[in-house]
Structure 1
């Protein structure tokens, strides 16, 4: 697989379609719809960057970066199941971190405790668990992480 990572608008229909697939997958995993409403809603005006992974012309992954109050947060990292285990996730995470490093020295993210592969990726990539931050303190099974970019130090 030859994957190219490109920056697109958050509302790009290809990225939106992948986020929709993610919402379906998360509803199956957690038993309810979580994305798009409540704590999981994303105001497009808060989005700082959106990346899309293309295999040829086929969109196979996406991730976004947004401002949440005084935080810079990685959101909606998703890869099609057929691409998992290929190393693309680590490349995509590194790409959004590089984009984040242009504006901050620390990123945070939220995931769910049932997303074991994601948690393992974040741990391998230097993320450290942090206290669950709002609005995710209202979401069952929340797990939050942070990473210092461009150096060492307490997250």
Structure 2
């Protein structure tokens, strides 16, 4: 696979379609009730960057970066199952971190406790667990992480 990562609008239909696929996977993993918390809504005006991974012309991954109050948060990182285990996730994460580094020295993210591969990726990439922050404090399976982009260890 020769994947390239491009920046697109958050509402680009290819990114929207991938986020829909992600929502379907999360509904299977956690059940439909998880999506009733209101914790996952993203205001497009809060989005600082949206990246799309293309394999040729086929969209195979996406991730976004947004402002959430005083935080800069990585959101909706998703790769098609066929691309998982190829190193593409680490590459995509590094690309969105580079965008984050232009506006902050600390980035946060939220995932769920059942997403073991994602948690392992974040740990390998230097993320440290932090207290669950709003609005995810209403989601029982929440796990949150932070990373200092300037290389310091304290989160």
The two structures share one fold, judged by TM-score above 0.5: yes
Which residue of structure 2 aligns with residue 61 of structure 1? 61
Question: Runs of 4 or more off by more than 2 Å in structure 1?
Answer: 33-37
Residue 102 of structure 2 is matched in structure 1 by 102
- Contact in 2 for aligned 1:53/1:61 (Cα 8 Å): yes
Measured against aligned partners, the alpha-carbon deviations of 1:88-126 in whole angstroms (never above 9, x if no partner) come to 000000000000000000000000000000000000000
Say if 1:26 and 1:33, in contact at 8 Å, map to a contact too.
no
Alignment TM-score, normalising by the size of structure 1: 0.97
**1:99 counterpart SS class:** helix
The Cα offsets for residues 56-90 of structure 1, whole Å up to 9 and x where unpaired, read as 00000000000000000000000000000000000
Give the equivalent residue in structure 2 for 1:146.
Answer: 146
Cα 1:51/1:33, change in 2 over 3 Å: farther
- C-alpha distance in 2, partners of 1:63/1:109? 11
Deviation of 1:150 after TM superposition, in Å, equals 2.1
Between the two proteins, the alignment pairs up a number of residues equal to 155
Contact 2:50 2:62 in 1 (8 A): yes
Contact 2:61–2:77 (8 Å) recurs in 1 = yes
* C-alpha contact 2:37 2:138 (8 A) present in aligned 1: no
User: Which ranges in structure 1 are unaligned for 5 or more consecutive residues?
Assistant: none
Looking at structure 2, the residues matched to 69 and 94 of structure 1 have their Cα atoms a distance apart, in angstroms, of: 23
- What's the TM-score once normalised by structure 2's chain length? 0.97
Gaps of 5+ in 2: none
Please list, as runs of the form range in 1=range in 2, the aligned pairs for 1:2-151 lying within 5 A after superposition. 2-32=2-32, 34=34, 38-151=38-151
